[in-house]
Amino acid sequence: MHSFRYHNGNLHCEGVDLERVAEKYGTPLYVYSAGTILDHYRRLNSALRDLDHSICYAVKANSNRAILNLLLREGAGFDIVSGGELFRVLAAGGDPQKCTFAGVGKSQDEIEYALDQRVLSFNVESEAELAYIDRIARSKDLRAPIALRVNPDVDAGTHRYVSTGRSENKFGIALDRAAEVYERAARLPNIAIRGVQMHIGSQITDAAPFAEAIAKVTALILQLKEQFALDFFSVGGGIGIVYESSFASGSGDWWSEKDRITATSTLPLTIHDYAAAILPPLRALGLRVLLEPGRLLVGNAGVLLTRVRYIKQTEHKKFVIVDAGMNDLIRPALYQSYHEIVPVREPDDSARELVDVVGPVCESGDFFAQDRELTKMHEGDLAALMSAGAYGFVMASNYNSRPLPAEVLVQGESFSLVRRRQTMEDLVRGECN
């Protein structure tokens, strides 16, 4: 669900008119709904209330400090993949002891930083990394808490770039080797075994692969529980969201119960379905469960606002050239992903046309929609690229020397700038002739 609705003729985020926000901070502009993020967090928490669990938000999905702060005040922990993400969590006021540190290529500096900060666990992805962490911990006279990331070889049925739980992927340790690697870990003097971790992919829209992966690692966990003092089993993230037709039009109160239910029922995989599939096998394990959702919490909570610069009619096509580009939101170019595009002025839908919506970047891959039927747009119109809250700003770059967009967080009737737009000076900072 999300809190973007038409109200008095304009698209609103919660109680805030998006035209007003765009006028104040310019475009391209990311706008996030705090209410949506909190609602998703609370729904997931409550669906799992019968299970001893902790939600460790996957910071990579959207690492703005204001969002981290919002979630940590709800009690969230964090799944981090770099020293930079740990730094952000600390800057937001987060507790390092609620952080799990994942990633296949952790550096010495990152491992030292995470050890010094006493993170909850290192999610170890190879035997080489295990030995490396042991060595660094020894030099500090510490024991590094670890979980091995096991690769259950399950097909998550998602885009091949975000599928991680197959044996051909670079992630994790093959399930049939895991017991042996745990034995080895137990013999390393500066390693403390704490748990088991897995993550099979992202944007998964069916509960079956999650259940299949849990079933596959159950025997290993039961065996490890006998041998070691396991503290947790992390089932990773990956719950998919709606990208198409997520937009529930309709006027009225932005926070009405009716709207919530309408929007929620369009989820491909509801939180309820997910919980129903994973709860019985997880409860039977009798271990604390960690979850690492990213997209589920923030994906539908953000839009990228953009303004139409020019309309270009060629012999073959009509192009709507907007001021956001692939450098601001790379998902369509990288994963051929779909983002709904809606005008900020409520359309009457009488005039629709087939267009390509493209950005100003000098690449043919710089598009947000191709041959899509949209409400007729004109120069100067504002549009929202929906469901851009996850893997949007965090994947933005300065390509074509375009300053990074600003970010705004809406809470009820108020909104605040949570990251200012980059300036030209920012573009050359740190460079010299």
For residues 399 and 362, the answer to whether their CB atoms sit within 8 Å is: no
Instruction: Please list every residue from 190 through 209 that binds ligand LLP, using CB under 6 A.
Output: 199, 202-203
Instruction: Tell me, residue by residue from 162 to 181, as one string, x for binding to ligand LLP by CB under 6 A and - for no binding.
Output: x-------------------
Query: Residue 294, interface with ligand LLP (CB under 6 A)?
Result: yes
If one asks whether residue 335 binds ligand LLP (CB under 6 A), the answer comes out as yes
Cβ neighbours of residue 426 closer than 8 Å, sequence gap 6 or more: 403, 404
Residue 25 or 32 with smaller CB distance to ligand LLP: 32
Shortest spacing between CB 237 and ligand LLP, in angstroms? 3
293 binds ligand LLP (CB under 6 A): yes
- Closest CB to ligand LLP among residues 308, 396: 396
* CA 401 remoteness from chain centre: 25
Which range of residues in 2-10, 236-244, 245-253, 357-365 is near ligand LLP by CB under 6 A? 236-244
Indicate whether 300 belongs to the interface with ligand LLP (CB under 6 A): no
Q: Does 236 bind ligand LLP (CB under 6 A)?
A: yes
* CB 372, min distance to ligand LLP, A: 20
Minimal distance, residue 172 CB to ligand LLP, in Å: 9
Segment interacting with ligand LLP (CB under 6 A) among 13-21, 250-258, 291-299, 400-408: 291-299
- Is 338 a residue that touches ligand LLP (CB under 6 A)? no
Query: CB 88 → ligand LLP: shortest distance, Å?
Result: 16
Give catalytic residues, as residue numbers. Answer: 362
Contact status: 58 vs ligand LLP (CB under 6 A): yes
The window from 211-219, 269-277, 293-301, 414-422 that contacts ligand LLP (CB under 6 A) reads 293-301
- CB 291 → ligand LLP: shortest distance, Å? 9
Q: Which of 1, 92, 102, 178 binds ligand LLP (CB under 6 A)?
A: 102
Q: Which of 88, 331, 339, 402 touches ligand LLP by CB under 6 A?
A: 331
| Stretch binding ligand LLP (CB under 6 A), from 56-64, 135-143, 273-281, 413-421 | 56-64
Residue 430 CB, nearest approach to ligand LLP (Å): 26
Structure tokens at 148: 């091995």
- Is residue 154 a contact residue for ligand LLP (CB under 6 A)? no
CA atoms within 13 A on the CB side of 155: 1
Burial class (CB in 10 A: 0-12, 13-18, 19+), 253: exposed
Question: Which residues contribute to the site for ligand LLP (CB under 6 A)?
Answer: 58, 60-61, 79, 102, 162, 199, 202-203, 236-239, 292-296, 331, 335, 390-391
